[in-house]
Amino acid sequence: MKAKPWILLVCIFCSAAALMAAPQTKKRQTPSDEDKMKSAKEVYTGTLVAIGGRFGGRSTPFTLILNGYTDPADEQRYISVLKSGGQDDLLDAIRKKDLGSFQIGAQIGRDINYATETETEDGRKITLLFERWIEFFELRFGTRSRDYPFTYVELFIDDAKRKGEGAMIPAARVRYKGEKTMEVENFGAWPVRLMGVVRRKK
């Protein structure tokens, strides 16, 4: 598998509050939800764990449904968009893409807008980028967190064991770094880990 034309570099991790304070809109399980999981290319479940701060140690289950990955031609186009127009133009370019969903707890899942996979020594690295959950107070008061419109996820999967782990930045912003790379910066200081990740069998 060839290396991807752009690399997402995590500078620091996110504030756990951005995750734990996400809106708890309950999602009713329907036959269509089950059908979506059955027809998905890959389905992963695991636990999000906040590492530090006042939310340290708090955990929440998550479900990742992947139906496909970003086309290499689109990857080239996205990095060009980011270089010329910044993250706002990148968000406009990817926000209508639906490559699956990422659901935290009982809240409504978010569509995956960007997804790639690269080979590692033990399996694969899956990289996800999508428009994040926005709080009402952010919209009303125009807080600085509005400058961090993405959620970023990295998963390292051991294909032989069908298990893995990773990290998530619930509130992230991105910028072009040169040499066809993109830098990812968090809003906050404490990491959120993805633990006990398991690929579900069909």
pLDDT (tens digit, 9 = 90+) per residue, 155-191? 999 999 999 999 998 888 888 887 777 888 877 656 6
Rounded to whole angstroms, the Cα distance separating 149 from 147 reads 6
Q: Is the pLDDT of residue 197 over 90?
A: yes
Residue pair 110/133 in contact by the 8 Å Cβ criterion = yes
Q: State residue 156's pLDDT score.
A: 96
**Residues 109-129: what's their mean pLDDT?**
93
Q: State residue 170's pLDDT score.
A: 84
pTM, 2 dp: 0.78
**Which has more pLDDT, 45 or 3?**
45
Cross-strand bridge partners of residue 183: 9, 175
Q: Is the pLDDT of residue 139 over 80?
A: no
Residue pair 116/72 in contact by the 8 Å Cβ criterion = no
**Which has more pLDDT, 195 or 58?**
195
Question: Average pLDDT of the chain?
Answer: 78
Flag the least confident range among 20-24, 138-142, 156-160, 191-195.
20-24
Residue pair 184/13 in contact by the 8 Å Cβ criterion = no
**Which has more pLDDT, 93 or 106?**
93
**Residues 150-154: what's their mean pLDDT?**
92
**Residues 17-45: what's their mean pLDDT?**
57
Rounded to whole angstroms, the Cα distance separating 171 from 14 reads 6
**CA-CA distances (angstroms) from residue 164 to 64, 140, 199?**
13, 38, 8
Give 36-84 pLDDT, tens digit per residue: 566 678 999 999 998 765 556 789 999 999 999 999 999 989 999 999 9
Q: State residue 2's pLDDT score.
A: 46
Cross-strand bridge partners of residue 200: none
Q: Is the pLDDT of residue 141 over 50?
A: no
